Structure 1
Amino acid sequence: MGIGASAGGIEALQAFFGALGTSRQLAFVVVTHMNPDHESHLAEVLARHAKIEVKVAEPGVRPEGGTAYMMPAGSLLRLRDGAFELEEISRETPNSGPIDIFLSSLARDCKDRAVGIVLSGGNSDGTLGIKAIKERGGITMAQASDAAGAPDHPDMPNSALATGLVDFALSVESMPATLKRLVESRASFESLEEYQDADELDDDLRVAFELLRSHTGHDFSGYKRRTFLRRLARRAQVVEAKSLEEYLGHLRHSSKEVSRSPAV
């Protein structure tokens, strides 16, 4: 889970980790805008609110569940082959969008298992990262401006929301429960990968291809079967469908969902 925050983000992060409780399955990486010349105390601050371990990310470390990793000051953070990479920066380094950089690397490395979350901030950093995660079938969230606990600085989440690629616009306090639900429901759809070549899936896939073709004019039957099934399963999780058949029923009756299908 990659979390981006900027102005007003400390309060949002405190609320997020305060609501999270214990979670041994999920690893969180927090990327913020920091003065490269100042030592960051964010890890210590969040450790007072979190019930999981809070650490500063170090090069070569592989993120583990039940831990929140903070980007160190004076660095850009990436994930490559499952481990952290750090690039030193200075005051003279042009503003390079540290949230976009990390979320894009997370998308490349974790593909449809990536989750990108954009919290309070005063610019558009994180928007490109959200796009990268959606392109690879991941899940995206942004702090809602019209919810209780709306961001102090809404520009960053609003920029992400304006793409139309955010799956969940939520208050930070409600995000952890949604994340846990998605993890719990994932297991029920992972069996699709085991049966990707089963003949009984052919009818369901034909329905999906036809629905997408009739609404978009494109034929997606050339997609790799495994990739297509995994992305349909991910969208089924988002809309809380309990089976592929139930999701296809939702797809039939929602042109909005067709336009948000990960195949498009």
Structure 2
Amino acid sequence: MPEKIEGISSRNRCIIVVGASAGGVEALKRLATCLPPDLAAAVFVVLHVGQTSYLPEILDRAGPLRAIKAKSGEQFERGRIYVASPGFHLLLHHDHMLLRRGPRENLARPAIDPLFRSAACSYGARVIGVLLSGSLSDGTSGLRAIKAVGGVTVIQDPQDAAVPDMVRSAQRHVEIDHLVPIAGMGDLLARLASEPAGETLPVPPGVRLEAAVAAQEHSAMSNEDRLGELSLFVCPECHGPLWEIEDGDMLRYRCHTGHAFTSDAMLEAQSAETDQILWS
């Protein structure tokens, strides 16, 4: 039986969070195939999906690790893959998982950044963040959060990705520790999970606040909670005011109800809204 995370006495990197979008099903299947059966970590997966997803069954058949749908409030074990459900953000809170219908981020729920931030808040340097094939730039801010607390960042080689936009965004804005094709990722993750983690650094206040928004611990963000300056734009989702967030050299936006966008996701949302208006 897999050993429960709380039973691990060492400070090894026992949490692996994985994000993917367009082209991600094939990338995740290949990753599941190359993960070892004795992996000393729990794996959590977010893929941008519609209303229905068969990803747990697909990954369960693809490799040696058991892959199941994540359940809210359930403790997790190493040696298993937990997959986010359609319509819910997958979050980590100490020794268990949470599924929350928090505000959509980068036009998605589940989204990658909320999982990555929650892992950074709860597990610090014990986290390995992995970003695979996908469009736009979800995952970049979450990888920055993992790096900020001392975790390890891994991205798929853009030359190996069916849709390289997400990993190229991470390359531009995050200090990446490992850039590898999927074929080499299984061995890399097994080695990283067997090594002691470094020192966990303090969680930046903005990361903690955004994690709380995804978990619905903040129903609305007040002026005291704002993460940046008021923007000229309005939220494409709820038409409320947007705050402009400088996340390193990356520009992001978040409204008072919590909807969040990177600049390219914002452009995508505005283009879709313009098309709807024109058709109407």
Structure 1 length-normalised TM: 0.65
Output one character per residue of 1:176-198: Cα deviation in whole Å (capped at 9) or x when no partner.
11122223343xx88xxxxxxxx
| Correspondence 1:52 to 2:62 | no
1:167–1:59 Cα change, 3 Å:
same
| Correspondence 1:40 to 2:53 | yes
- In the other structure, the counterpart of 1:71 is 84
Matched-pair contact (CA < 8 Å) for 2:87–2:109: no
Matched-pair contact (CA < 8 Å) for 2:48–2:108: no
Larger strand share, 1 or 2: 2
Q: Which amino acid aligns with 1:64?
A: E
Q: Distance in 1 between matches of 2:112 and 2:173?
A: 16
Structure 1: runs of 5 or more not aligned: 191-225, 229-264
- In the other structure, the counterpart of 1:179 is 189
Q: Distance in 2 between matches of 1:140 and 1:162?
A: 13
Hey, which bits of structure 1, 4+ residues long, moved more than 6 A?
none
Residue from 164, 171, 179 that aligns with 1:154? 164
Shift of 1:166: 1.1
| Correspondence 1:83 to 2:96 | yes
Matched-pair contact (CA < 8 Å) for 2:86–2:109: no
Larger helix share, 1 or 2: 1
Matched-pair contact (CA < 8 Å) for 1:112–1:139: yes
Shift of 1:30: 0.4
Matched-pair contact (CA < 8 Å) for 1:97–1:125: no
Q: Distance in 2 between matches of 1:136 and 1:98?
A: 20
Q: CA RMSD in A?
A: 2.2
1:112–1:97 Cα change, 3 Å:
same
Structure 2 length-normalised TM: 0.62
Matched-pair contact (CA < 8 Å) for 2:87–2:110: no
Q: Percent identity?
A: 33
SS in 2 for 1:48: helix
Q: Distance in 1 between matches of 2:110 and 2:71?
A: 20
Residue from 126, 130, 134 that aligns with 2:139? 126
Shift of 1:96: 6.2
Shift of 1:90: 9.4
Matched-pair contact (CA < 8 Å) for 1:4–1:119: yes
Structure 2: runs of 5 or more not aligned: 1-15, 202-280
Output one character per residue of 1:112-168: Cα deviation in whole Å (capped at 9) or x when no partner.
00110000001100000000000000001001123xxx1110001111111241100
Shift of 1:110: 0.5
Matched-pair contact (CA < 8 Å) for 1:79–1:85: yes
Identify which of structures 1 and 2 has the higher relative contact order when contacts are C-alpha pairs closer than 8 Å and 6+ apart: 2
Q: Which amino acid aligns with 2:189?
A: L
